[in-house]
Amino acid sequence: MATEIPQSHQNPDPQISLYYQTRAAHHAVVTSDWLAQAQAAVGHHPEDAVSDNSSLKSAGGEESGNGYSVVNEFNNWRKQPDLAEAVAAIRALASVIRSSQATTMMELEIELKKASDSLKSWDTTSISLTAGCDLFMRYVTRTSALEYEDFNSAKSRLLERAERFGEISYKARKIIAMLSQDFIFDGCTILVHGFSRVVLEVLRTAAQNRKLFRVFCTEGRPDRTGLRLSNELAKHDVPVKLLIDSAVAYSMDEVDIVFVGADGVVESGGIINMMGTYQIALVAKSMNKPVYVAAESYKFARLYPLDQKDMVPAIRPIDFGVPLPSKVEVETSARDYTPPQYLTFLFTDLGVLSPSVVSDELIQLYL
Amino acid sequence: MDARRVPRNVTDPKVRQVGFFAPVAPLDGSPSGPLRPTTPSPPVSGNSLSPVMIPLPRHLSSDNAPLSPLTGRRRRLLPPRGADKAAVKQNTHSASGLTPGVTDGGPPSEVQKEQAPVSSLPLKEKTTKAERRALQEAQRAAKASATADGSKKSVGASAVVTSANANPKKVAKAPPPQKKDSSSVAASEKRGGDRQTDKDRKKDVPHPRMQFDDEDRVEKAKKRSVVKQTEARYRVELFRHLPQYEHGTRLADLESKFFQLDPVHPAVYKVGLRFLTGDISGGNARCIAMLQAFQESIKDYSTRRDKTLIEKWDLPAKINGYVSFLIECRPLSISMGNAIRFLKTQIAELPLTMSESEAKASLLSDIDRFINEKIILADKVIVGHAVTKIRDGDVLLTYGSSSVVEMIFLCAHELGKQFRVVIVDSRPKFEGRMLLRRLVGKGVSCTYTHINAISYIMHEVTRVFLGASSVLSNGTVYSRVGTASVAMVAHQFHVPVLVCCEAYKFHKRVQLDSICFNELGDPDAIARVSGKEDINYLDDWTSSENLQLLNLTYDATPSDYTSMIITEYGMIPPTSVPVIVQEYGGEHLWI
């Protein structure tokens, strides 16, 4: 039942998780060699996308055709740098419903499942993509509309829910930004790690609300996320200070709150985020600084890591700039897991949650 | 609870009232507890009900409640004879909201026992003794007459009986809240009569481990028995609120009555005996055995036809009777309680228009479905989830013997994962040995150790898998005694603790410690080390006044020490248990 992914859509460089390739492509803050690879990866898609767009669903909803087109749709959406991957996937799946030729509910669901699987397999390391697809499927099919006799009305109901879910996900950032305004007070110092568009939105909104605060950015090697973030913040006249990753504990005294995004929120209430988040959370906890996580609700995944190694690894090779002897190993994992006891609050579009609520929400959704 | 509270007149500063207590109205001719400076009032809500039993009829409980104060503290299950000691800890049965079935059976038995033990407990005041004795004589007389009218016995649904330390039986509650009909009254009466003599006989038998089928020994024991004193010996102050262990004495009686006991179906009787002897142990095994026995009894059930020509569907009453009998044999586990509640709901929801055979068939299939969905299939799903958490090179630790954990290990082994198992075991049950035997038989490499060595071995362990008798609403894991220690040591070593438990074992209750609700086992089991006769220093522990042995069966592990709970609904953090109870608990009704 797995849809064959056309060669061009597969990860051109299996060494690097596609997720990070995408982000690099969006952010364009990369080392030269990596940039070349990323560009190669990105460069493939527009050409194929254009040509494949025309060959959308064939009559009768052929599986391969649909799968093909889903990924195309997805790539179309994905090109916008501001759009989260999962939201793009959700929009793509909604379009699958819209353009589906199925005549029965079962057929439609099977189509959806296939499309969702093909999207997920496009990048297996992206948690938010997998979680977003799964949640979409649950949300959409979890409706009494399926009881309707009339297929078309049922289908339109599904479509309605799908679009609503897409809207919610799209607007999630704004909601989160609104909710977090209360937690940023005048004169506070915020420590930020990693480049999260949600956190950026939060800070941007705070700046627009004329709040006085300053930001410490960690450098975020090897992605240099800190540089990118400091660029953005400087545009909004927010005082920014760059720290190297090792200087976090040194500066933690002056910090009031720690703000991070999340690649995925797991069932225990912990988060999976860029490498270094766990470290910062540990230091913050030992110095009694609150750690806030800004994450959309479609990132809630049904994972439950017990320790750092209990996850699907995401590899991100590091370029040290100098040649290393071959005997020397490098830890190339790109993300780590922060257990829930180090987190204070999660800002999501569902509200301000404590970490233990994540599982409650998931249970109710997967009822 | 509040309805039962009556403002107390006097609080004696010496007496510390701990926990919930029902106010005590002064009885005629006897100074009430609180007013009496010398005696610590034992305002234990006279709950003889085994705390394990899940109360069903709430109306019964509310009926029973007002009884407590009215009937007086004397009727308390365990009026601390020895509780004269100043610091009386009044543990409450009702702490967990269980039906406080008043143990009216308490008093009479206490009456009988009180005479001897009183003398053995130096703290009792003489005046008190005399007064109480007088009162109890009067009560006994009243009870004797009430008994003829219809005894509560075990027939009473939740309330009652047994376990409560005493050998209640003859319970004559003034207000009989028992809605349960009198269908089994006749039988109960008869049983009551039997019980009377049994009680006396039991008192003559000091040692529960005796060979009861050996008549000579029994006679000898009777002759040399000091009886009542030894009865009191078994009681530990802190755990007076729990049903005291007395099962060893029951076995012979029950065995001899196998063919006489009318109200109890033979299948249920058999199962009860097996519980009593410990043949069947483990939450799932006991639950399944009990449900299958109920299935047999339902198959054989037929509605009564009275002279009034009205068919009487008294299956619920019969089930209650069986349940009470099983409680006598061994207090119910929480899984059994939930299963019984499910069964009763199913019975109650049968449409009236159904014919008897249809109803019976429906019930039988309901029970089958319950066992299949909630236990067998659930176990399969749990195993599926859990094996994803086992990696090659893991060292897995488990404590005791849990059926689910065993399945997990075997499944992972079949999948070809490379791991080894450390089995931690403890006295007196040594449940880990059977698990060890089965795992080694299947080729799993195992290490076996006792719980004393837990901190020694923990550093090489990567995961801990534990089973549970139940998981409570605050995430507390209620499991075999010793589990909490294992979990705490694992937590200290930063080893993740995974508790595997089917969802039907979850309960709404909240428990903060292992004391307010537990099950007491045979104290002699811990006094004796089998195979090493030379170190049996405690052979004559009963004769020592200062020594009491305590054999707990369960303990409560706080939720902080649990990393995750694996149920058939997935892997959840301990904080999400109330959500499962709430969302899926109602499913019991709609299966």
- What DSSP letter does each residue of B224-257 carry, written as one string? H--THHHHHHT--GGGTTSPPP-HHHHHHHHHHT
- Residue that has been written with the tokens 């026992």 in this structure: B113
The model's confidence at residue A111, banded by pLDDT at 50, 70 and 90, is confident
Q: Which residue in B487, B478, B466 sits closest to B566, CA to CA? A: B466
Say if the Cβ atoms of B564 and A304 lie within 8 Å: yes
Question: A363 to chain B nearest CA, in Å?
Answer: 8
pLDDT above 60: residue B581: yes
Question: B571 to chain A nearest CA, in Å?
Answer: 7
Write out the DSSP string of A154-202.
HHHHHHHHHHHHHHHHHHHHHHHHHHHGGG--TTEEEEEES--HHHHHH
Length of chain A in terms of residues written: 367
Assess contact for A132 and A82: CB atoms under 8 A.
no
B180 touches chain A (CB under 8 A): no
* Bridge pairing between strands A240-243 and B311-312: unpaired
Angle at A229 between CA A225 and CA A234, to 5 degrees: 150
* Bridge pairing between strands B477-480 and B554-557: antiparallel
The whole-number average pLDDT for the span A268-283 is 94
- What pLDDT score was predicted for residue A22? 64
pLDDT above 70: residue B123: no
Assess contact for B55 and B338: CB atoms under 8 A.
no
The model's confidence at residue B60, banded by pLDDT at 50, 70 and 90, is very low
- What pLDDT score was predicted for residue B446? 96
The whole-number average pLDDT for the span A53-82 is 57
- What pLDDT score was predicted for residue A41? 63
Residues 346-365 of A with CB under 8 A from B: 356, 359-360, 363-364
pLDDT above 70: residue A56: no
Both tokens of A269, joined, read 């209430």
Listed range (A96-100, A106-110, B147-151) with the worst mean pLDDT: B147-151
Measuring CA to CA, how many Å separate B428 from each of B279, B422, B446, B547? 15, 19, 21, 19
Query: Dihedral sign, CA of B509, B514, B515, B519?
Result: positive
Both tokens of B526, joined, read 């811990």
Angle at B295 between CA B289 and CA B300, to 5 degrees: 135
The whole-number average pLDDT for the span A35-47 is 54
- How far apart CA A23 and CA B96 sit, in angstroms, is 54
* Bridge pairing between strands B477-480 and B445-450: unpaired
- What pLDDT score was predicted for residue B200? 45
The model's confidence at residue B227, banded by pLDDT at 50, 70 and 90, is very low
User: Which of B150-159, B273-282, B468-477 is predicted most confidently?
Assistant: B468-477
The model's confidence at residue A90, banded by pLDDT at 50, 70 and 90, is confident
- What pLDDT score was predicted for residue B201? 44
- What pLDDT score was predicted for residue B85? 41
- How far apart CA B106 and CA A99 sit, in angstroms, is 75
In B299-312, which positions are buried (b, 16+ CB within 10 angstroms) versus exposed (e)? Answer: eebeeeeeeeeeee
- How far apart CA A340 and CA B495 sit, in angstroms, is 16
Task: Name the β-bridge partners of A352.
Answer: A347
Listed range (A159-163, B14-18, B359-363, B505-509) with the worst mean pLDDT: B14-18
User: Which of A300-304, B223-227, B255-259 is predicted most confidently?
Assistant: A300-304
Say if the Cβ atoms of B463 and A268 lie within 8 Å: no
- What pLDDT score was predicted for residue B316? 86
The model's confidence at residue B423, banded by pLDDT at 50, 70 and 90, is very high
Q: Which residue in A218, A222, A214 sits closest to A194, CA to CA? A: A218
A2 touches chain B (CB under 8 A): no
Residue type, B7: P
Question: Which helix or strand (DSSP H or E) is residue A285 part of?
Answer: helix A277-286
- What does the pLDDT look like over B408-418, one tens digit per residue? 999 999 999 99
Length of chain B in terms of residues written: 591
pLDDT above 90: residue B439: yes
Q: What is the 3-state secondary structure (H, E, C) of A21-86?
A: HHHHHHHCCCCHHHHHHHHHHHHHHHHHHHHHHHCCCCCCCCHHHHHHHHHHHHHHHHCCCCCCHH
**Helix, strand or coil, per DSSP, at residue B62:** helix
Q: Which residue in B260, B253, B290 sits closest to B275, CA to CA? A: B290
Assess contact for B400 and B430: CB atoms under 8 A.
no
Task: Name the β-bridge partners of A321.
Answer: none
The whole-number average pLDDT for the span A342-357 is 93
- How far apart CA B93 and CA B108 sit, in angstroms, is 20
The whole-number average pLDDT for the span B151-174 is 38
- What pLDDT score was predicted for residue B19? 53
B313 CB-side CA count, 13 A? 12
Say if the Cβ atoms of A359 and B573 lie within 8 Å: yes
Mean pLDDT of chain B: 71
- What pLDDT score was predicted for residue B228? 33
- What pLDDT score was predicted for residue A252? 95
Smallest Cβ–Cβ distance between A363 and the set B389, B463, B572 belongs to: B572
Residue numbers in B near A346 (CB within 8 A)? none
Residue numbers in B near A367 (CB within 8 A)? 583
- How far apart CA B230 and CA B116 sit, in angstroms, is 10
Assess contact for B256 and B228: CB atoms under 8 A.
no
Listed range (A266-275, A298-307, B352-361, B454-463) with the worst mean pLDDT: B352-361
- What pLDDT score was predicted for residue A168? 82
Number of neighbouring beta carbons within 10 Å of residue A14: 9
Q: Which of the residues A282, A363, A364, A365 would you substitute to probe the B interface, choosing the one with the greatest number of B C-beta atoms within 10 Å?
A: A363
B564 touches chain A (CB under 8 A): yes
Question: Which helix or strand (DSSP H or E) is residue B358 part of?
Answer: helix B356-370
Assess contact for B41 and B47: CB atoms under 8 A.
no
Question: A337 to chain B nearest CA, in Å?
Answer: 15
Smallest Cβ–Cβ distance between B583 and the set A269, A306, A363 belongs to: A363
Say if the Cβ atoms of A359 and B389 lie within 8 Å: no
Listed range (A68-72, A84-88, A363-367, B83-87) with the worst mean pLDDT: B83-87
Mean pLDDT of chain A: 80
Measuring CA to CA, how many Å separate A270 from each of A311, A342, A353, B494? 13, 8, 12, 16
The alpha carbon of residue A281 and the mean position of all alpha carbons in its chain are separated, in whole angstroms, by 20
Assess contact for A265 and A357: CB atoms under 8 A.
no
Smallest Cβ–Cβ distance between A356 and the set B498, B571, B575 belongs to: B575
- How far apart CA A97 and CA A82 sit, in angstroms, is 24
Both tokens of B346, joined, read 């199913």
A307 touches chain B (CB under 8 A): yes
The whole-number average pLDDT for the span A21-48 is 53
- What pLDDT score was predicted for residue A57? 34
Smallest Cβ–Cβ distance between B571 and the set A304, A307, A367 belongs to: A304
Both tokens of B120, joined, read 């053995």
The whole-model pTM stands at 0.69
A264 CB-side CA count, 13 A? 28
The nearest alpha carbon in chain B to A310 belongs to B389
pLDDT above 70: residue B66: no
The model's confidence at residue B437, banded by pLDDT at 50, 70 and 90, is very high
pLDDT above 60: residue B35: no
Say if the Cβ atoms of B570 and A363 lie within 8 Å: yes
In B266-294, which positions are buried (b, 16+ CB within 10 angstroms) versus exposed (e)? Answer: ebbbebbbbbbeeebbbbbbbbbbbbebb
End-to-end CA distance of chain B: 33
Q: Which residue in B517, B495, B494 sits closest to B507, CA to CA? A: B517
Peptide bond into B117 cis (omega under 30): no
Q: Is A123 a catalytic residue?
A: no
Say if the Cβ atoms of A363 and B571 lie within 8 Å: no
Which one from A263, A310, A349, A360 is the annotated catalytic residue?
A: A263
- What does the pLDDT look like over A142-174, one tens digit per residue? 765 566 667 778 778 878 888 888 888 778 889
SS percent in chain B: helix, strand, coil, step 5: 50, 10, 40
The whole-number average pLDDT for the span B470-477 is 94
Say if the Cβ atoms of B389 and A310 lie within 8 Å: yes
The model's confidence at residue B153, banded by pLDDT at 50, 70 and 90, is very low
